[in-house]
A and B are shown apart, each in its own frame.
Chain A
Amino acid sequence: MSDPRKTPDSEPTTHFGYRDVPESQKAERVAEVFHSVAAKYDVMNDVLSGGLHRLWKRFTIELSGVRSGHRVLDIAGGTGDLARQFSRLVGERGEVVLADINASMLKVGRDRLMDRGVSGNIAFVQADAECLPFPDNHFDCVTIAFGLRNVTHKEDALRSMLRVLKPGGRLLVLEFSKTRNPILGKIYDAYSFGFMPLAGKLITNDAESYRYLAESIRMHPDQETLKGMMADAGFDRVTYHNMTGGIVALHRGIKP
């Protein structure tokens, strides 16, 4: 979701957390964040979500409709939580591609999956979601879990995902969203801006990255806006499911 505002030297800007940065710098700054947290990414996910991220991902897999022989692309696949389950579901006749723009995350994911014996039907690709290096109409399912908010041009990324999906294929976007419960919202704000940077400081010695995480969640489009963006990109039958009071939402769209 790029910001149409321009800096004095006319380069378009976008948000990086609460700050506006030139578009050309966002990817680099996001990469720095993930290089910094990659090694302790799983631990932090469990600590910060209280293990709930595993349940959100389970639900995503259940709604994916992936079965034996399917070809699946997991964008921003990180440490391979989804890819591992997809690898089991698609079987030997299928294929899973774990893509991530960040080399550190990709390395952690590849090592982790290999350590768990996941191989044979899985490939690892360093790729930018905005210009996916895959042929048209190639995948039965594309997923992006907790990655879309870090993409500079979200509309371009959604169009790119639509392009690589086969007609009838589905896109699943699992992402932090907005809760409509004011009490939960207040608790969540206190948690995000108080506990998260503190946990980041204690576990990864990096409070800034987790401050960015909290800010980037607030800057991400809400459920209805993202639904509209997916429809605008060309997806059909776009629906979303709120989880944990709307703190996280799973959007699903079908390629016509």
Chain B
Amino acid sequence: MATSLVLQALLAGVESGLRRVLALDPKALEALGGLQGKVIAIQCTSPAFVIYLLPAKDGLHLAANHEALVDCRLIAPAGSLARLATRSDKSAVLHERGVSLEGDSGPLLVLSEITQQLNLDWEHELSRWIGPLATALLARVARGQHDWAKRTATSLHQDAADYLTEEARTLVGRREAEARFCEIDDITLQLDRLDARIAQLARNRQERPESP
């Protein structure tokens, strides 16, 4: 039970932090209010634990136990859960081995959308502490740095991809891979047709009366 209380304390702390963050985006709270009454279970298989998410208009509540039916249960190992939380392309992760979804996936998808579209008004919160002038200056610097970091990261990603696929030929490029996949699909279709043709010929041969 000591472990339970530690877990309760941990969940209470995370819940309180989430509430503070969500309070910076009124639209997110409004959207969470629309999910009130829904229960989403996140079941981690490795390490084994279950966390229940209960969205409400005042934030996202977390629970270690929930003794009633849940609307949706996501079962996955910790790595996949982390990828689900951070990646924008969630469908690829959902099709990974060991990942399964039970019940109504609607609430989970809406919740995921809410977290991805979070638009935190951190400038408002900061201005309460250091004043509007200092916040404006700080925000301009931060936005400049953020834009530069974003442009640099995109450029670096593109350059690295071009080098590996076009110059070093270490990796196969996306377009090249797609062309090969199309060819494989065509060959598969042709083989299927050939199979069907052979099967039809074999049937015809069996049905035809033997010649004297």
- Least CB distance, B155 to chain A, in whole angstroms: 47
Task: Assess whether A13 is interfacial by the CB under 8 Å rule.
Answer: no
Q: Which residues 102-135 of B have a CB within 8 angstroms of A?
A: none
What are the residues of chain B within 8 A of A59 when measuring CB–CB? Answer: 4-5, 8, 65
* A55 touching B12, Cβ below 8 Å: yes
Residues in A lying within 8 Å of B, measured CB to CB = 52, 54-56, 58-59, 61-68, 88-89, 91, 241-245
The count of residues in chain B whose C-beta lies closer than 8 Å to any C-beta of chain A is: 22
What are the residues of chain A within 8 A of B12 when measuring CB–CB? Answer: 54-55, 58
* A61 and chain B: residue at smallest CB distance: B63
* B1 touching A62, Cβ below 8 Å: no
What are the residues of chain A within 8 A of B66 when measuring CB–CB? Answer: 62
* A55 touching B9, Cβ below 8 Å: yes
* B4 touching A67, Cβ below 8 Å: no
What are the residues of chain B within 8 A of A56 when measuring CB–CB? Answer: 5
- Mind listing 29 A-B residue pairs with CB under 8 Å? A52-B5, A54-B12, A55-B5, A55-B8, A55-B9, A55-B12, A56-B5, A58-B11, A58-B63, A59-B8, A61-B63, A62-B63, A62-B65, A62-B66, A63-B67, A64-B67, A65-B67, A65-B68, A66-B68, A67-B68, A68-B37, A88-B58, A88-B61, A91-B36, A91-B37, A241-B4, A242-B1, A244-B1, A244-B5
- Least CB distance, B194 to chain A, in whole angstroms: 58
CA distance A68 to B64 in the complex (A): 18
Task: Assess whether B84 is interfacial by the CB under 8 Å rule.
Answer: no
What are the residues of chain A within 8 A of B68 when measuring CB–CB? Answer: 65-67
Interface of chain A: mostly helix, strand, loop or mixed: helix
- Least CB distance, A76 to chain B, in whole angstroms: 22
* B36 and chain A: residue at smallest CB distance: A91
* B5 and chain A: residue at smallest CB distance: A55
Task: Assess whether B69 is interfacial by the CB under 8 Å rule.
Answer: yes
Task: Assess whether B74 is interfacial by the CB under 8 Å rule.
Answer: no
* B15 and chain A: residue at smallest CB distance: A58
Q: Which residues 53-75 of B have a CB within 8 angstroms of A?
A: 54, 56, 58, 61, 63-69
- Least CB distance, A179 to chain B, in whole angstroms: 12
8 nearest CB pairs, A to B = A65-B67, A62-B65, A68-B37, A67-B68, A55-B8, A91-B37, A62-B63, A65-B68
A-B contact count (CB 8 A): 49
CA distance A91 to B54 in the complex (A): 12
CA distance A59 to B4 in the complex (A): 8
* A63 touching B69, Cβ below 8 Å: no
* A243 touching B5, Cβ below 8 Å: yes
* B67 touching A88, Cβ below 8 Å: no
* A117 and chain B: residue at smallest CB distance: B58
Q: Provided the pairs A63-B67, A65-B67 are in contact, do residues A58 and B37 lie with their beta carbons within 8 angstroms?
A: no
- Least CB distance, B160 to chain A, in whole angstroms: 48
* A88 touching B36, Cβ below 8 Å: yes
* A66 and chain B: residue at smallest CB distance: B68
- In-complex Cβ contact of B1 among A54, A66, A243 (8 A): A243
CA distance A245 to B5 in the complex (A): 11
* A241 touching B1, Cβ below 8 Å: yes
CA distance A241 to B68 in the complex (A): 19
Q: A67-B39, A242-B1 are in contact. List 17 more A-B contacts (CB 8 A).
A: A52-B5, A54-B12, A55-B9, A58-B63, A59-B5, A61-B63, A62-B63, A62-B65, A65-B68, A66-B68, A67-B37, A67-B68, A88-B36, A88-B56, A88-B58, A243-B5, A244-B5
What are the residues of chain A within 8 A of B2 when measuring CB–CB? Answer: 244-245
Most chain-B CB neighbours within 10 Å: which of A54, A59, A68, A242?
A59
Most chain-B CB neighbours within 10 Å: which of A58, A64, A67?
A58
What are the residues of chain A within 8 A of B11 when measuring CB–CB? Answer: 58
What are the residues of chain B within 8 A of A62 when measuring CB–CB? Answer: 63-67
What are the residues of chain A within 8 A of B4 when measuring CB–CB? Answer: 59, 241, 243
CA distance A59 to B67 in the complex (A): 11
What are the residues of chain A within 8 A of B64 when measuring CB–CB? Answer: 62
What are the residues of chain A within 8 A of B69 when measuring CB–CB? Answer: 67
- Least CB distance, B73 to chain A, in whole angstroms: 15
* B57 and chain A: residue at smallest CB distance: A88
What are the residues of chain A within 8 A of B61 when measuring CB–CB? Answer: 88
What are the residues of chain B within 8 A of A243 when measuring CB–CB? Answer: 1, 4-5
Q: Which residues 33-65 of B have a CB within 8 angstroms of A?
A: 36-37, 39, 54, 56, 58, 61, 63-65
